[in-house]
Structure 1
């Protein structure tokens, strides 16, 4: 008889509800799909809180923890998941929980996080030397742990083979990426056919195209110490179709090309050319989302010139084509 795998998820005050319910529903749907096929359930789901009982999440409603993590042995579980949310700040300072996770890590087959739950695993030192991702907005916080192999563009870092990720301790990106992770775990446990059946039941991609960059804001405006550079950054978005070469930008800023390049790297962490490309890409994303123009027109208006240049930039930063992006996020399909 096939082993019933015990799936446990931590739950704590102000956790993100979807980080918990999303992945657990995927496992529950695998049970439902197996029952539909005349097979027994293969997963049992557990919620572990600081204490058993109702715990209020950031959404304002409560989930009921059936057990306290203080009182259970991690060896009882096959897979342990750690969610994210506003409550992470308190949990990453909870030394009792961090110590429990350290003891749990060698005892469970799989230990994973959803969204900013990666910061809890990082605080416990469990991501050192391992690839890790998290919600794009929390990547800088994860970057503060130098022992981690940061892969912030990925939807999750689970790989059953261990060749492109980790099969034992792994992380996932923001919110719904926990669902992608759960599907990958089911595929590892039960095979691609079952994982695909679950994805179809839930109307999901078995493997979502692209990484999480397609959902994030590429540019985060930063205050500049150099007034001339600040003025230039305000000027660039209104002149995307103009010549924005290094010489042209230096002339506009009243600086030498070398001084301008140095200022960009010191204050923004990227050179002028890469910055301009990303501003143009952000503008193209906005136009495609609003379905304001065809892909060819978007390429011209944003300074890419030819649609092929736009396509290369989209694949470089977002891992999807402009057409795929427009179909996924636009009001209507662009042509």
Structure 2
């Protein structure tokens, strides 16, 4: 019996090269780490295309497929990854490929997407009724085009090795480098956390980010010119996180009625004042924890959450991790120890 697990990645014209090479390098590096430990390699890596041979990427260079998905039985694959790229929309209309994905989805042990590759899985009908994510720029396309999919716009990947509901078999990841986080999670499930962290260190990633981590900073402050009615208030909020930031207090500061302020927030930011304040507080708490500047209880007080339990609930709601776990993974002290 062949002990090697076959990891395959689909490629097609105008595929995003990093969506392909990033995750596959993780599996290749896992083989290297095992060899350093005197162990045999675990993974065999393949590129699959419509037919064997060179395929142009969106970066202008070529990748070479060593086989065609048309003649392949999915049962021979441990893991199949479907990447994104400028050519993704053409693959969403590639009827033979979509049919092959539907036929082989039950046969592949693990089937996942990177970046806008989620749209290809969705076009095949494989994400209906499932939680899925994609690159932040394609979230609305996924949500609007495939209403049966439960779209998560603010996480790195949906892989969960312990999820009996199917997330250990079929999963998605966000843009570009999130595919590397997904691959590290797959390696951890196969070979253990110690080896996955060794790979992360070797790739100068230092630590594997959890799948629930936000794709980017929770707060991306808009330019004042884009929100003229709120510019002054948005500059004021971060400097008063420990104050009363209720709707009434914000409305008084903005010299608006609470009803008007809620409407303006919704129109200009796409969210209510309460949600915005929570995200600003959460971002401030993340920064304090990353810099290891204070205890969790102190961070909760300084950022206006009041109690550590309130901070914990907000972290779980938006980041799917606890403050303690976040501190352990991303705190400056943790990083310094990792490189010591």
Quickly say closer, same or farther: Cα 1:61–1:220, change in 2 above 3 A. Answer: farther
Q: Which moves more between the two structures, 200-209 or 119-128?
A: 200-209
Structure 1 residue 64: Cα displacement: 0.8
TM-fit CA distance, 1:245: 4.7
What is the Cα deviation at residue 80 of structure 1? 0.8
Partners of 1:157 and 1:165 within 8 A in 2: no
Structure 1 position 164, deviation (Å): 7.9
Question: 1:55 — aligned with what?
Answer: 55
Q: Counterpart in 2 of 1:333?
A: none
Partners of 2:315 and 2:187 in 1: CA distance: 31
Is contact 1:54–1:64 with CA below 8 Å preserved after alignment?
yes
Q: CA separation in 2, counterparts of 1:198 and 1:218?
A: 30
Using the TM superposition, give the Cα deviation of residue 264 of structure 1 relative to its aligned residue in structure 2, in angstroms.
3.4
Local SS of the residue matching 1:64: strand
Unaligned stretches of 5+ in structure 1? Answer: 329-335
Corresponding residue for residue 65 of structure 1? 65
Distance 2:156 2:149 in 1: 16
Structure 2 residue aligned with 1:234:
231
Shift of 1:9: 0.3
Residues 1:257 and 2:258 aligned together: yes
**TM-score scaled by structure 1?**
0.76
Offset, 1:248:
4.9
The alpha-carbon deviation at position 121 of structure 1 amounts to 0.8
- The answer (yes or no) to whether the contact 1:118–1:171 under 8 Å persists in 2 is yes
| Distance change in 2, residues 1:271/1:11 (3 Å) | same
SS of equivalent residue, structure 1 residue 232? coil
In structure 2, the residue matched to 1:12 is 12
Please list, as runs of the form range in 1=range in 2, the aligned pairs for 1:26-175 lying within 5 A after superposition.
26-144=26-144, 145-163=146-164, 166-175=167-176
Runs of 4+ in 1 over 6 A off after TM superposition: 280-289, 305-316, 320-326
Question: What SS class does the counterpart of residue 213 from structure 1 fall into?
Answer: coil
Q: 2 CA distance for matches of 1:326 and 1:196?
A: 16
**Aligned counterpart, 1:332:** none
Cα distance in 2, alignment partners of residues 310 and 303 from structure 1? 11
- 5 Å matches for 1:308-323? 317=318
Unaligned runs of 5+ in 2: 334-340
Distance 1:287 1:239, change over 3 A: farther
CA deviations on 1:94-129 (whole Å, 9 max, x unpaired) are 222212211120121111111221111112111112
Count of residue correspondences: 321
Structure 1 residues 17 and 259: CA distance shift in structure 2, 3 A: same
**Conservation of the 8 A alpha-carbon contact between 1:136 and 1:212:** no
Counterparts of 1:106 and 1:6, CA distance in 2: 16
Query: What SS class does the counterpart of residue 116 from structure 2 fall into?
Result: helix
CA-based RMSD: 4.1
- CA separation in 1, counterparts of 2:187 and 2:309? 38
Counterparts in 2 of 1:165 and 1:159: CA distance versus 1, 3 Å: farther
Q: TM-score, normalised by structure 2?
A: 0.75
| 1:131/1:165 contact within 8 Å kept | no
Separation (CA, whole Å) in 2 of partners of 1:233 and 1:189: 49
